[in-house]
């Protein structure tokens, strides 16, 4: 195992002193990838080109022209386009497909001399909460190989967790950065919807999808967000709100008002150690002078069904483009246009993707649109309004990231409803479009990571990151 640096600044310090080189760092990560192949975290490793890039960055460091991410070795979730590289969203229907352009975030990362080491396994089209729906097989949790890593960005989380890269970029639709980060004991940030460009991200649900960093530290999450965020002429949904210097604003200021989700302490579905963790941190924050008060979210029973109705509807529309005609997988058994559509899609999509596409098509269909989709949009507005009301009274909402630690592989695959309920604490921020972060605070008695989640106002990532750093420092005491 190569040395695991806590922050990019620690790496850059050693680079400046000549203790290491970027090429040597990359070789160490490649070694870690090889010895951890059994975890199935990567769909592809860019082994040859990454060493060439590393040598080029080493030369830039010598010349004093290196970008702010020099020394940052990143993995990309396999639904993020990188020019002249394959991108499959871990689906058979895109197996072998090569992207002809790079996502905006990839261009911004490369411009600052980040090195992309490979593309990581994920749930197919980001649809899943355990990284078991991938065409390339499930990913295993580094902490316990019998456990899932979470989903859909499970491969990205494990790559960071097991030291196969320094950080990773995932996507979060309803918790797909935060939940695997929680299961793998790393930091996972979902920015405000519209803070980061979605151009070049394979869409699951367009009004929810958001790119987020997965890191070992708050400092690196702040730096990656700063590099990726901001207006983009290729994405009309991106905000032109100025991007703060997030890494420069990580000092806490004053005492905060925090609302904690009372249902997390009363729901029978919450693991006892998760409940104990939340209780413990409520007391720690109170003892440190913060105002910490309970709130009951009256729409808690509706957040998961609302989220799934809306995302499945959007998925059925977004995935219509994969038809066996334009690109991607085409069935060899097709004989005419209709059979090309039917056979390519039935053979190319996995079970969970087909379930969501069919349910999404149903809720959009004539006679059911008003009963399901239109009603879910109204409930989403209620959830947004109530969440913003709470955040107008409090600085943060505190809750567990997940109701349980990582569960056994195959445990939830037989019952999709049980799997969907794993998102109970993460989908509120996604429905409201506000930023949220998962913070690894300790392990349970079995050595599995446990995490807490903080939610705050739209575009208030500076305060969120600053207070998150404080909470993690509190965890060390």
pLDDT of 6 reads: 96
Does residue 252 surpass a pLDDT of 80? no
Beta pairing class for 257-261 and 291-295: parallel
Does residue 423 surpass a pLDDT of 80? yes
Largest Cα span, the chain:
71
Q: How far apart are the first and last CA of the chain?
A: 28
Does residue 1 surpass a pLDDT of 60? no
pLDDT of 126 reads: 98
103, 69, 76: which is closest to 164 by C-alpha? 76
Please give the average per-residue pLDDT across 346-350, as a whole number: 97
**Which are the contacts of 53, defined by CB distance < 8 A and separation ≥ 6?**
115, 116
Asked if 195 and 221 count as a contact pair (C-beta separation under 8 A), the reply is no
Percent of the chain with pLDDT over 70: 100
pLDDT of 2 reads: 67
Give me the phi and psi of 133, to 5 degrees please.
-95, 0
Helices 8-17 and 218-228 pack at an angle, to 10 degrees, of 90
Give alpha helix (H) positions in 187-256: 218-228
The total number of structural domains that make up the chain: 1
**Mean predicted lDDT score pLDDT of the chain:** 96
Please give the average per-residue pLDDT across 146-153, as a whole number: 97
361, 364, 386: which is closest to 375 by C-alpha? 364
> CA-to-CA distance for 317 and 325, rounded, in angstroms?
17
Asked if 61 and 18 count as a contact pair (C-beta separation under 8 A), the reply is no
Please give the average per-residue pLDDT across 266-292, as a whole number: 96
Which of the following is catalytic: 90, 102, 153, 176? 176
Asked if 438 and 451 count as a contact pair (C-beta separation under 8 A), the reply is yes
Quick check: is 152 catalytic? yes
Quick check: is 176 catalytic? yes
Give alpha helix (H) positions in 249-399: 263-266, 272-287, 300-318, 337-348, 351-364, 375-393
Which of the following is catalytic: 102, 134, 152, 197? 152
- Domain with 106, as residue range(s), is 1-477
Asked if 189 and 177 count as a contact pair (C-beta separation under 8 A), the reply is yes
Does residue 253 surpass a pLDDT of 80? no
Q: Evaluate the omega torsion of the peptide bond into residue 152 and state whether it is cis, within 30 degrees of 0.
A: yes
pLDDT of 326 reads: 86
pTM of the entire predicted model: 0.97
pLDDT of 378 reads: 98
CATH number at residue 179: 3.90.1300.10
Residue 115: Cβ within 10 Å count: 27
Does residue 345 surpass a pLDDT of 90? yes
pLDDT band at 229 (very low <50, low <70, confident <90, very high): very high
Please give the average per-residue pLDDT across 337-362, as a whole number: 96
């Amino acid at each position: 195992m190569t040395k695991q640096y806590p922050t990019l600044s620690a790496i850059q310090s050693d680079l400046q002193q000549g203790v290491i080189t970027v090429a040597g760092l990359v070789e160490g990560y490649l070694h870690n990838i090889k010895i951890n192949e059994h975890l199935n975290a990567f769909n592809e490793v860019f082994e040859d080109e990454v060493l060439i890039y590393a040598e080029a960055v080493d030369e830039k460091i010598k010349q004093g022209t290196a970008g702010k991410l020099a020394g940052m070795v990143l993995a990309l979730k396999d639904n993020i386009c990188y020019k002249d590289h394959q991108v499959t969203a871990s689906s058979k229907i895109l197996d072998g497909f090569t992207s002809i352009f790079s996502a905006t975030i990839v261009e911004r990362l490369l411009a600052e001399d980040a090195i992309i080491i490979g593309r990581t396994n994920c749930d197919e089209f980001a649809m899943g909460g355990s990284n078991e729906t991938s065409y390339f097989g499930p990913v295993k949790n580094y902490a316990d190989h019998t456990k899932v890593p979470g989903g859909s960005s499970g491969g990205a989380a494990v790559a960071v967790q097991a030291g196969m890269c320094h950080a990773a970029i995932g996507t979060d639709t309803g918790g797909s950065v935060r939940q695997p980060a929680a299961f793998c004991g790393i930091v996972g940030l979902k920015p405000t919807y519209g803070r980061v460009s979605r151009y070049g991200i394979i869409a699951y649900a367009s009004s929810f999808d958001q790119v987020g960093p997965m890191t070992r530290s708050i400092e690196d999450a702040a730096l990656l967000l700063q590099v990726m965020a901001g207006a983009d002429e290729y994405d009309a949904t991106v905000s032109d709100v100025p991007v703060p210097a997030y890494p420069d604003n990580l000092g806490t200021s004053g005492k905060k008002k925090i609302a904690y989700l009372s249902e997390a302490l009363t729901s029978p579905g919450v693991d006892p150690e998760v409940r104990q963790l939340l209780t413990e941190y409520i007391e720690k924050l109170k003892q440190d002078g913060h105002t910490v008060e309970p709130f009951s979210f009256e729409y808690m029973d509706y957040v998961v069904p609302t989220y799934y109705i809306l995302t499945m509807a959007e998925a059925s529309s977004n995935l219509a483009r994969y038809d066996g005609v334009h690109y991607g997988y085409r069935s060899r058994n097709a004989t005419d246009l209709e059979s090309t559509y039917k056979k390519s899609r039935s053979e190319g999509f996995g079970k969970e993707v087909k379930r969501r596409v069919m349910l999404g098509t149903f809720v959009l269909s004539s006679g059911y649109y008003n009963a399901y989709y239109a009603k879910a949009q109204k409930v989403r507005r209620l959830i947004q309004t109530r969440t913003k009301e709470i955040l107008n009274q409090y600085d943060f909402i505190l809750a567990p990231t997940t109701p349980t630690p990582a569960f056994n592989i195959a445990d939830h695959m037989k019952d999709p409803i049980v799997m969907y309920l794993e998102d109970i604490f993460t989908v509120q921020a996604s429905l409201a479009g506000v930023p949220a972060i998962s913070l690894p605070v300790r392990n349970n008695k079995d050595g599995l990571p446990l995490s807490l989640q903080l939610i705050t106002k739209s575009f208030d990532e500076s305060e969120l990151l600053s207070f998150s750093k404080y909470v993690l420092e509190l965890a060390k005491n």
